Chains A and B, each alone.
Chain A
Amino acid sequence: MSENTALDRRRFLRAAGLAGAGLALPALAQERKPESVITEVQDWARNLGDGVQAHPYGMPSEYEKHVVRRDVEWLTAGRESSVNFTPLHELDGIITPNGLCFERHHSGIANIDPAKHRLMLNGLLDRQLVFTVDDIKRFPGRINKAYFLECAANSGMEWRGAQLNGCQFTHGMVHNVWYTGIPLKTLLDEAGIKTNGKWILAEGADAAGMTRSIPIEKALKDCMVAWAMNGEALRPEQGYPLRLVVPGWEGNMWVKWLRRIEVGDQPWHHREETSKYTDLLADGRARRFTWIMDAKSIVTNPSPQAPLKHKGPNVLTGIAWSGRGSVARVDVTTDGGKNWKGARLDGPVMPLSLARFYVDIDWNGQEMLIQSRVMDSSGYVQPTKDELRKVRGVNSIYHNNGIHTWLVRANGETENVEIS
């Protein structure tokens, strides 16, 4: 420190009335060089920026280019029948931006001209009907609802142990969106369900002709035919122009590019409810019709793609959800489950929607084993992975909602681990 600087510092302290007060002072700030980002006029502060209409459909800052969906190439044979993952570690709040909602297609994205799209209702109905997209949007009783959609195979790669290093890959087959549409019940009432109508078959217009059987009780309870997500038209990869919304139930049932609803008296046992989306247990038997998504939570920050970079105050955050109702509470541990602490839920906590939780932590560089555990409004408590394996074995693929562990090392690096 030069004499001058020392003198300046003493003057500053005197002026501020703080000399010898023993407080943590901005001493270092006095020794550092001033930051050029402050002392020098930056380009954006001198020059004119883009005018309006430079980007008729706005995009994120160029400095957010890394915030994208990602896939795991070795997971599937080709990209048309594949999946990518929501970058959960880059998001906050409860709503997933439309361009970041994970994708799962079975025969690629159908590119549909809405003028040529039709929705047919047939089967055990008083009237067999055909609707245009315009017809659907003219129905009375339009509703808006926020719901999570989780692929049944989310975390499916983690059954045998910690495998993928990032919550985008371990938990990124979930998104949470505001849907606009009409209750499916409205359409079924318009056609008139016959008394022996007990099941519906929802069918997509894509080259997979995706079909799923859904019991009539669920169809009438809260299913929606939606045309908008987060205020704008559905994205093509999310089913434009119409998709089925099946709140709280596995994502595969939310048929995209919805073109037909058939009413029948039995389930159809199609490919996605027999060969796939059934849960193989250790004894070789398989559970079918496991539609409800069990309560689940994950700490998104810190996580392997979002390590801790600073000692001192840090915000631990994550998301929780349940297919049986709303999130009642989330507990967090930093010592691998020896001791837990209630997290703070912030933002709306709605049934069948993601909830956001926070724990403000003070990190002094100690190693941490971080987990979160959700309890839902039905009293279900998210189990450990070992508790799940005890009942289901490791061949289930689907419905892995076990408690997940992140190891935070002394240097802040964070890794996906399994613990005893």
Chain B
Amino acid sequence: MSKSAKSLALSVLLITAIAAGTAFGQVRKKTGLGREALTEEIAAWDHDVRPDGVGLPQGKGSVKEGEVIYQEQCAVCHGEFGEGKDRWPVLAGGQGSLKSEGPEKTIGSFWPFASTTFDYIRRAMPFGNAQSLTPDQAYALTAYLLQLNDLVKEDFVLSRENFAAVKLPNEANFFDDDRETSEKHFWKKNPCMSNCKSEVKITGHARMIDVTPGSKDGPKVD
């Protein structure tokens, strides 16, 4: 191809690109605001972990090491055996309770992925002293919580290498939002306006339960 033919082809290509871009309104000038994030800065903040193990730091921790940290820093709220004190979250037990009147949604009974435990411990725990644990301590605590839920043995050591192999038993019981099919009958053309039912009975009163704050000094009615 001659030089001029080449440059013609190039300019046709350019014009086409510009035209297409303009037609879709997609030629957007970058503002240049902000600056490039440095690798160290991203490393300081990007700690998030996914179920496939992406995001896990180097490190490892054993059930035994985890037990020591747990009893020192976690048991005060979560209880010695993960049973939860007062209304703080219950972390262990609850297997088989999900269909009952009082479902106990713990790591072992409900949570779908072990990575959630590691991620949450490292970002938000201990409550009031967040981001104070090393990766090894987070591995150890996760290992201990798995053991409290009878999912690993007492000599288990959790690491980046074996993390993805840990599966939680309830994973298969989660499914994506299906309201638009399973609740399709909530879309109605003409909701009933008159004589919609013949009888109305009161079946429950909030006052009987009497748990409303300030209900004793509520508004007076003449």
| A binding-site residues for B, Cβ under 8 Å | 70-77, 80-81, 106-107, 120-123, 127-132, 135, 138-140, 161-166, 169, 189-190, 201, 203, 207-209, 211, 259-260, 262, 264, 266, 268-271, 274-275, 278, 280, 282-292, 294, 304-309, 331, 335-341, 369, 373, 375, 378-383, 387, 391, 395, 407, 411-413, 415-420
Q: Report B-chain residues with C-beta under 8 Å of the C-beta of A335.
A: 200
Query: Shortest beta-carbon distance, A272 to chain B, in Å?
Result: 9
A337 touches B197 (CB 8 A): yes
B194 touches A135 (CB 8 A): no
Once bound together, how far apart are the Cα atoms of A336 and B198, in whole Å? 10
A337 touches B173 (CB 8 A): no
Contact-residue size bin, chain B (C-beta under 8 Å from the other chain): 35 or more
Q: Kindly state whether residue B9 has any CB partner on chain A within 8 Å.
A: no
Picked from B52, B130, B206, the residue with its CB within 8 Å of the CB of A164 is B206
Once bound together, how far apart are the Cα atoms of A203 and B88, in whole Å? 23
B33 touches A190 (CB 8 A): yes
Query: Shortest beta-carbon distance, B131 to chain A, in Å?
Result: 8
B222 touches A71 (CB 8 A): no
| Chain B residues numbered 118-168 whose CB sits less than 8 Å from any CB in chain A | 119-120, 123-124, 127-128, 130-131
Contacts A285-B174, A287-B176, A306-B219: A129 and B37 contacting too (C-beta < 8 A)?
yes
* B interface majority secondary structure: loop
A369 touches B200 (CB 8 A): yes
Q: Kindly state whether residue B179 has any CB partner on chain A within 8 Å.
A: yes
Q: Kindly state whether residue B58 has any CB partner on chain A within 8 Å.
A: no
A275 touches B111 (CB 8 A): yes
A285 touches B173 (CB 8 A): yes
Once bound together, how far apart are the Cα atoms of A85 and B112, in whole Å? 31
A339 touches B196 (CB 8 A): yes
Contacts A331-B191, A373-B191: A209 and B124 contacting too (C-beta < 8 A)?
yes
Q: Kindly state whether residue B77 has any CB partner on chain A within 8 Å.
A: yes
Interface pairs (25), CB distance under 8 Å = A77-B86, A121-B37, A129-B36, A135-B33, A163-B211, A165-B218, A169-B212, A169-B213, A208-B123, A209-B123, A269-B51, A274-B113, A275-B105, A280-B103, A287-B178, A291-B177, A294-B179, A336-B200, A340-B196, A379-B188, A381-B191, A387-B186, A411-B222, A413-B221, A418-B204
